[in-house]
Amino acid sequence: MIAPMCIQPYASNVCSPLPTGSFRSENEVNPTDNLDFRHHNYKDMRQMMKVINEECPNITRIYNIGKSSAGLKMYAMEISDNPGEHQTGEPEFRYTAGLHGNEALGRELLLLLMQFMCKEYNENNPRVRRLVEGVRIHLVPSLNPDAYELAYEMGSEMGNWGLGHWTEEGYDIFQNFPDLNSVLWGAEDRGWVPRIVPNHHIPLPENFLNGSVALETKAIINWMERTPFVLGANLQGGEKVVAYPFDMQRPPKATWNGDALRETSDDTMFRWLAMSYAHSHLTMTETQRGSCHTDDISGGQGIINRASWKPVVGSMNDFSYLHTNCFELSVFLGCDKFPHESELPLEWENNREALLSFIEQVHRGIKGIVRDMEGKPLANATISVDGVKHDVKTAAAGDYWRLLNPGEYRVTARVDGYTLQTRLCIVGYNSGATPCSFTLAKSNWDRIKQIMVLHGKRPIRLVTKAPPRVGSDISGGSVGSVDATKMGATGGMGGTSANSHNAERLRRLRLMRLRKMHQQRLRYNFSTATPVATTTTTAAPTTTAELETESTTSWYDSWFPVESSYTEPTPAEVFTEIQESEPTQDYTFEYKFEDY
């Protein structure tokens, strides 16, 4: 379709009517929409956002995420039915533009999107109302305002390919984020994931923020960390394609194939998200004439994995995936980074449906709330999906969202101090995320950790208070008869502590003897005839009957069969064999259940 011809486009924004006999496409922007199709410098952008906020004060809010190196504020507009507040169960979405100041089309598309949603909401457009009431949308038209001002002064006709690309300090913001890919891949090679290094929310490297980091990058990272974004896209220029992570190429190994070097654990989900934008765009999949600079790089699909195309280290997309819950892609809007104002209506028409459709993908997958048994929300709970080696965390209100394609998934929720829970969650083809909430019960693992720390993570001796059997002492003799060896070793009766230790030694000795006899029996069964084994079996009941009179309730007594030849050792034999066997060294502390 031919774009409408504008009369004196440099001086006004009034367009002449279409020639007689021409037809508008179904999605064409009607000039009566009164959208402002022109380029906006910093002052004009701020004024435009203020006007929109005044027209729709009940669904919009203007805030800034930080300042540039030159002191310009990085303005954002929130569009929601309850602006300024995160609503439990409502996902958060973001569009950003202007990472490179000379790529101006994304900036103008987001300003047009603000105008469109405000106008359509006031006119009760049902689709726009569903988006506003069901998603908290954040739009940032300029992440690099200093560089845009430089490119804007030169204009679209005089600007070159690199003018205004970097910040005033010389940083490329998109590639100025910490390299968490190397941290994850190095840990995977050592088998540390997820036991030592998590597969999600990987922390920032030490002293990263004190290094060569742009002020704009620091502001973006803080914004990402304090807002529980689920899905987002950054709008760029210079090509017409949607690029999805990973953006960094993994160092090869002999056991890996080519795809494993660049795919995320959510590769199929990322491909779907990329296609939802590219296939809703009116011209992005028309690749018959190739891409902007070479032959078609997307195979006619309009999407590509960034690592297989132009790999970069420390990208915004990879950082968002590995440090937060947010799935982020890069949308390259066209070959012309700074199109003329007369082309803006056509560019809006090409991208309008794609911009709306991509926001709607935030409802794809599962969502829920993690609570304890009293109904209190549990923040920072980990949500794991079997078969997907990438987890997400719950927000401060205990709610979470997990982007997934249709299918059946075993989902597990876990948090320190609580027993984990696993559910089967089914994602269908209908619109809307599948509810999948969890209620976790407290566990005693925290108390176990405290006890382990208290005793230096050493083995703990358990002291029971079972009374001695009537008519016999601990060593097996009758009451009133005390072995001379025991008297000499303990000094008189020896006291309660010595008796407890002797009883424990008796149990150890009995266990050692039973093990030894069990091994002898196994060897004996292999070397003797059947009649002999029968004789041994018939004697077993007698031995069992004798053991029933024992006072021990040790948990290990049932591990080994009792032989008919077993006889209880005399006290003298007990202490002689204990001294020869040199049992495990006793610790100097005791632990009683009643103390805790």
Determine, yes or no, domain membership for 576: yes
Q: What span, in angstroms and rounded, lies between the C-alpha atoms of 291 and 303? A: 12
Q: Which of 412, 443, 474 is the last residue of a domain?
A: 443
* CATH number of the domain to which 180 belongs: 3.40.630.10
Determine, yes or no, domain membership for 11: no
Same domain, 248 and 372: no
Q: Which of 328, 362, 396 is the last residue of a domain?
A: 362
CB contact at 8 A, 10 and 77: no
Which parts of 123-162 fold into alpha helices (H)? 126-134, 145-158
Same domain, 493 and 402: no
Nearest to 459 by CA among 596, 279, 322, 587: 587
Same domain, 65 and 185: yes
Q: Where are the beta strands (DSSP E) in 296-381?
A: 303-305, 327-334, 366-372
Same domain, 37 and 173: yes
Determine, yes or no, domain membership for 212: yes
Confidence at residue 526, expressed as pLDDT on a 0 to 100 scale: 64
Determine, yes or no, domain membership for 465: no
Q: Which of 362, 389, 410 is the last residue of a domain?
A: 362
Same domain, 537 and 414: no
Sheet order of strands, 407-414 included: 388-393, 382-385, 407-414, 421-427
How is 175-236 classified by DSSP, letter by letter? G-S--HHHHHHHHHHTT-TTTTS-SSSPPPPTTGGGSS--HHHHHHHHHHHHS-EEEEEEEE
Confidence at residue 523, expressed as pLDDT on a 0 to 100 scale: 78
Residue 496 exposed, middle or buried by CB count within 10 Å (0-12, 13-18, 19+): exposed
Determine, yes or no, domain membership for 455: no
* CATH number of the domain to which 425 belongs: 2.60.40.1120
Determine, yes or no, domain membership for 23: no
Q: What span, in angstroms and rounded, lies between the C-alpha atoms of 254 and 440? A: 43
Q: Name the pTM for this structure.
A: 0.72
Same domain, 554 and 432: no
Q: What span, in angstroms and rounded, lies between the C-alpha atoms of 36 and 417? A: 55
Residue with tokens 């486009």: 9
Same domain, 340 and 425: no
Q: What span, in angstroms and rounded, lies between the C-alpha atoms of 188 and 254? A: 15
Determine, yes or no, domain membership for 136: yes
CB contact at 8 A, 42 and 148: yes
Same domain, 245 and 289: yes
From first to last of its 596 residues, what are the pLDDT tens digits of the chain? 334 333 333 333 334 444 444 444 444 445 446 799 999 999 999 999 999 999 999 999 999 999 999 999 999 999 999 999 999 999 999 999 999 999 999 999 999 999 999 999 999 999 999 999 999 999 999 999 999 998 888 776 555 667 788 898 889 999 999 999 999 999 999 999 988 999 999 999 988 888 889 999 999 999 999 999 999 999 999 999 999 999 999 988 755 566 667 899 999 999 999 999 999 999 999 877 677 877 888 888 999 999 999 999 999 999 999 999 999 999 999 999 999 999 999 999 999 999 999 999 999 999 999 999 999 999 999 999 999 999 999 999 999 999 999 999 999 999 998 999 999 999 999 889 999 999 999 988 777 777 878 877 676 665 555 555 544 444 444 444 344 344 444 444 445 666 777 888 888 888 888 888 888 888 777 665 444 444 333 344 433 333 333 334 443 344 444 444 445 455 455 444 444 444 444 444 344 444 43
Same domain, 141 and 185: yes
- Report which residue type is found at 265: S
Determine, yes or no, domain membership for 240: yes
Strands 438-440 and 60-67: unpaired
Please give the tally of structural domains in the chain: 3
Same domain, 424 and 509: no
Angle in degrees, CA 355, 359, 360, rounded to 5 = 120
Domain extent, residue 63, equals: 31-362
Same domain, 107 and 253: yes
Same domain, 267 and 327: yes
Q: What span, in angstroms and rounded, lies between the C-alpha atoms of 117 and 108? A: 14
